[in-house]
Structure 1
Amino acid sequence: MLLLVGTFLILMLVGVPVAISMAVASVLYLVFFGIAPDIIVAQRMIAGVESFPLLAVPFFILAGNLMNSAGVTGRIYSFAVSLVGWMKGGLAQVNIIGSVIFSGMSGTALADAAGIGTIEIKAMKDHGYPVEAAVGVTAASATLGPIFPPSLPFVIYGMMANVSIGALFMAGILPGIVMTALMMVTVAIFAYVKRWGSDAPFEIKQLLEASLEIVVVACVPVVIYLLMLTGLSVNASVGIALVLLLAADWYFDFSAVMALMTPVILIGGMTMGWFTPTEAAVAAVLWSLFLGLVRYRTMTLKTLAKASFDTIETTASVLFIVTAASVFAWLLTVSQAAQLLSTAILSITENKWVFLILVNLLMLFVGCFLDTIAAITILVPILLPLVLKFGIDPVHFGLIMTLNLMIGLLHPPLGMVLFVLSRVAKLSVERTTMAILPWLVPLFIALIAITFIPAITLWLPTQLGLIK
């Protein structure tokens, strides 16, 4: 085990990419100890990605890219300005609301940061906000992407832990709302201390229009339910509700209703059992194509091709990490790393709350050095037996792990959100890191609450009958 982990860490320190470091360390370990034929590497790599739930990965990535190329992010931003731009620190609040909405479409922090985050940082700089403040709030709000459904880390975790991905998606809603509220309170405090003003005039007409869009979206599931009560089939009820929605959208010429429908379609469809989380990813792509090609007509063949190629590149990167991490995790299991860690932790404590504190510290540390997908693939087989032994619900643990690793995305040396925002804002990594530090406070408060109050995570999926 020392050779495996040591080689991996040395390669990481000299700048070798994470996936290649894991693959090389795994091959060296197999060659040196000869515990299995070399062909086992290829077999384990194939087994790592031979999973139906993993089909959701390229489709959610494609949906996020299509939303960006179709200009949906700009519409979401305009909607958020109408809704909260009049508040003190308005554009910072817009930043958070925009991220909440966009997170229901992309499922990744990187898509959020690179997509709507680019618009938000430029707008905040143009309105006189310090670039550090713009970067900090954008980084913090980007972590909402993988907490609100859909979520790529949840897909990977669900596959590794053999946990319902639908239950994980539902479990993320209340924690996401808690995080959103904490971030908005933080913005309000900053606005008071630094005397930030509002960034859009308070216009009752715009606020009512934005509120009407929310009401229209919220009414869609209600209309479907009422139609089903009359004896209509599910398909007929959904069809009529969508026709009514299209009519309202055409009549009132809403700016963002159809974009706001994306999370409603995904969450509603999974909750009602119309499609699985993997099928929901396909539904997200189809809805994105409808918006870009039919409703807004902002998508061209060129932008469609670019979104497709970007998806291929990102998917290849993610799945290569999964394949390499699968071999690495298997070797850790074979070398009895799980048993060694279990013995070490049980020698320290047999209290599950102390265990959760230790695991939080471990994952915060790991998140600074390992890619999120790699960390989940490696750590779940090692930690899950202990999680079950302490009587911790694996869905609850999935939220804890994901949030820890999202915070890790904001830290050097491998924090990808950190590097994306550093490039977007044209700041050094050091200045970007310092800009993000104050905004970690609401994230850590949310992490503590989610860790020690399991009901925040488990109440909704329990009510929906997804977990017992």
Structure 2
Amino acid sequence: MLVITTIALFLTLMIGIPIAFCLALASLVALLLIGDVPLHLIPQRMFTGMDSFPIMAVPFFILAGDLMNSAGITHRILRLSTALVGHIRGGLAHVNIVASMFFAGISGSAVADAAALGSILIPAMEEDGYDTTFSAAVVASAAVIGPIIPPSIPVVIYAIAGSVSVGGLFLTGVVPGILIGLGLMVVAYMISRQKNYGTKRPFVSWHELLSSFTGAIIPLLMPLIILGGILSGIFTPTEAASVAVAYAFIIGFFVLRTLKFKDLPGIFYRSMVTTATILIVMACANIFAWLLGTEMVPQKIAAAITSFTTNPYMLLLLINLLLLVVGCFMEGLAAIILLVPILVPVAVQAGIDPLHFGMIVVMNLMIGLITPPVGLCLFVSCSLAKVDLMKLVRVNTPFLLVEIVMLMVVTYFPQIVLFIPRLFGY
């Protein structure tokens, strides 16, 4: 039964059916093969897959990000980023990376970051003499930082699937996100120097730096409010997400005054579509996860891995290789829902901290956003820059490699990840 179900899953994936329906169809095949299981189990398991209070944080974070984006905060973040790093060789490439780091604290979505920043920066980089494909590569690779630096939608999903603290897992992403950003800046600097991109510009004045920081402080306060509220115990992660929506609404309508009530239907529509996409994947994945559980697949995989090696370093290497391959073919959220219940017990048994392991999983699957054939950020950048996908993949390779190097650093030096959570008692 399990073999036929797996074949059904891969066949539906190969012919291009969306991942949620692939999982549902494969689960239906399994239930028909079992025979004595009522089919009303499918809607029942779909409902239980979404029936969780922490999941309510997902639509709220999505709506908060959409409200802030529609309020025009992108230009404020770009102005601050330009003031900070625009004078370095390859200035606009560095602006893109730093802006993605700031933007990560607002949207929590790599695809949203790539679309928002790429639509502005790719034309600007072209006008400044940068190669179009290089510009698209910077946008795609920098957008990966979005779901790593808190708040993050994939982290919320992992916390639910792995039964770990959302606040603690948020804190694990701060240092890895900064490390990836710095690594990307080093690569961008080396390529810009070699290709003579972005000639060096003068430093901005202290007055301009202060002015740009003042303009950006309003959107940058949102992640501090979210994390501060969660860590101080004032509100739960779900309540924090609703506070983020209220903050974004007040800022957009009454402080910046860039939002109008006529904008709300479009914002609500985009948020509902994104939320529905995530929730249908979670619902269908829950059916598949139930089937895996009844067949004791997690226990069998755990036994197979531990029989091969009990060395935690070797185990982490194998898991990293598995997740990097999975990220090439499966959307990150679906992979988290399916694999976390299987891999977390293996990691815990090997003595790996669940928070550390959570960041390893998230980083692996977010790197999948810039690896073909399912790399969503690559497709967004291709669409914005109108460049060939395979050419973009080649140009993006140095950025991909540095992200994998940072993944290895985070994997084998857990104190880097756990330093900040430990300060807050996690």
TM-score bracket relative to the smaller structure: over 0.9
Give, in whole Å, the separation in 2 of the partners of 1:174 and 1:205: 27
Give, in whole Å, the separation in 2 of the partners of 1:413 and 1:367: 10
* Alignment match, 1:250: none
Give, in whole Å, the separation in 2 of the partners of 1:23 and 1:48: 13
* Alignment match, 1:54: 55
Give, as a single letter, the amino acid of the residue that structure 1 aligns with 2:185: M
Task: Tell me, yes or no, if structure 1 residue 378 matches structure 2 residue 338.
Answer: yes
Task: Tell me, yes or no, if structure 1 residue 306 matches structure 2 residue 280.
Answer: no
Task: Tell me, yes or no, if structure 1 residue 188 matches structure 2 residue 189.
Answer: yes
Give, in whole Å, the separation in 2 of the partners of 1:369 and 1:208: 43
Give, in whole Å, the separation in 1 of the partners of 2:200 and 2:67: 29
2:137–2:381: 8 Å Cα contact kept in structure 1?
A: no
Alignment match of 1:416 (pick from 373, 376, 382): 376
Alignment match of 2:293 (pick from 333, 345, 349): 333
Name the SS for the 2:258 alignment partner: coil
Indicate how the Cα distance of structure 1 residues 64 and 53 shifts in structure 2: closer, same or farther if over 3 A, else same.
same
Give, as a single letter, the amino acid of the residue that structure 1 aligns with 2:334: A
Give the superposition deviation at 1:429: 2.3
Give, in whole Å, the separation in 1 of the partners of 2:103 and 2:76: 11
* Alignment match, 1:13: 14
Alignment match of 1:261 (pick from 209, 221, 245): 221
Give, as a single letter, the amino acid of the residue that structure 1 aligns with 2:280: F
Alignment match of 1:407 (pick from 354, 358, 367): 367
Give, in whole Å, the separation in 1 of the partners of 2:231 and 2:127: 41
Give, as a single letter, the amino acid of the residue that structure 1 aligns with 2:120: I
Task: Tell me, yes or no, if structure 1 residue 352 matches structure 2 residue 312.
Answer: yes
Give, in whole Å, the separation in 1 of the partners of 2:199 and 2:250: 35
2:5–2:27: 8 Å Cα contact kept in structure 1?
A: yes
Indicate how the Cα distance of structure 1 residues 458 and 203 shifts in structure 2: closer, same or farther if over 3 A, else same.
closer
Higher mean displacement: 341-350 or 46-55: 341-350
Name the SS for the 2:373 alignment partner: coil
Give, in whole Å, the separation in 1 of the partners of 2:91 and 2:264: 33
* Alignment match, 1:228: none
Name the SS for the 1:115 alignment partner: helix
Give the superposition deviation at 1:193: 2.0
Name the SS for the 1:150 alignment partner: coil
Give, in whole Å, the separation in 1 of the partners of 2:6 and 2:299: 16
Give, in whole Å, the separation in 1 of the partners of 2:199 and 2:96: 13
Name the SS for the 2:329 alignment partner: coil
Give the superposition deviation at 1:377: 0.5
2:155–2:169: 8 Å Cα contact kept in structure 1?
A: yes
Give the superposition deviation at 1:431: 2.5
Give, in whole Å, the separation in 2 of the partners of 1:405 and 1:412: 13
CA offsets per residue over residues 281-319 of structure 1, 9 Å max, x none? 112211211221111111122322211100001110110
Give, in whole Å, the separation in 1 of the partners of 2:134 and 2:158: 33
Give, in whole Å, the separation in 1 of the partners of 2:292 and 2:127: 50
Give, as a single letter, the amino acid of the residue that structure 1 aligns with 2:397: L
* Alignment match, 2:34: 33
Give, as a single letter, the amino acid of the residue that structure 2 aligns with 1:159: I
CA offsets per residue over residues 261-296 of structure 1, 9 Å max, x none? 122212222222222221121122112112211111
Unpaired runs of 5+ in structure 2?
A: none
Higher mean displacement: 392-401 or 412-421: 412-421
Give the superposition deviation at 1:195: 2.3
- Counting aligned pairs with the same residue, the percent is 42
* Alignment match, 2:133: 132
Give the superposition deviation at 1:196: 2.4
CA offsets per residue over residues 118-139 of structure 1, 9 Å max, x none? 2122211121111111111111
Task: Tell me, yes or no, if structure 1 residue 77 matches structure 2 residue 37.
Answer: no
Give, in whole Å, the separation in 2 of the partners of 1:390 and 1:4: 30
What TM-score do you get using the length of structure 2 for normalisation? 0.96
2:93–2:135: 8 Å Cα contact kept in structure 1?
A: yes
Give the superposition deviation at 1:198: 4.0
Give, in whole Å, the separation in 1 of the partners of 2:415 and 2:254: 42
Aligned residues: CA RMSD:
1.5
**Number of residue-to-residue matches in the alignment:** 425
Higher mean displacement: 20-29 or 273-282: 273-282
Task: Tell me, yes or no, if structure 1 residue 45 matches structure 2 residue 34.
Answer: no
* Alignment match, 1:293: 253
* Alignment match, 2:321: 361
What TM-score do you get using the length of structure 1 for normalisation? 0.88
Give, in whole Å, the separation in 1 of the partners of 2:209 and 2:16: 53
Give, as a single letter, the amino acid of the residue that structure 1 aligns with 2:138: V
1:69–1:304: 8 Å Cα contact kept in structure 2?
A: no
Give, as a single letter, the amino acid of the residue that structure 1 aligns with 2:247: W
Give, as a single letter, the amino acid of the residue that structure 1 aligns with 2:266: K
Give, as a single letter, the amino acid of the residue that structure 1 aligns with 2:28: V
Higher mean displacement: 202-211 or 422-431: 202-211
1:117-196 correspondence to structure 2 within 5 Å: 117-196=118-197
Unpaired runs of 5+ in structure 1?
A: 214-253
Give, as a single letter, the amino acid of the residue that structure 2 aligns with 1:31: L
Give, in whole Å, the separation in 2 of the partners of 1:125 and 1:268: 40
CA offsets per residue over residues 226-285 of structure 1, 9 Å max, x none? xxxxxxxxxxxxxxxxxxxxxxxxxxxx32221221222122222222222211211221
Higher mean displacement: 339-348 or 40-49: 339-348
1:132–1:435: 8 Å Cα contact kept in structure 2?
A: yes
Name the SS for the 1:256 alignment partner: helix
1:74–1:116: 8 Å Cα contact kept in structure 2?
A: no
Give, in whole Å, the separation in 1 of the partners of 2:260 and 2:392: 35
Give the superposition deviation at 1:199: 6.7
Give, in whole Å, the separation in 2 of the partners of 1:35 and 1:360: 38
Task: Tell me, yes or no, if structure 1 residue 274 matches structure 2 residue 234.
Answer: yes
Name the SS for the 1:136 alignment partner: helix
Give, in whole Å, the separation in 2 of the partners of 1:210 and 1:265: 22
Name the SS for the 1:409 alignment partner: helix
Give, in whole Å, the separation in 1 of the partners of 2:219 and 2:207: 18
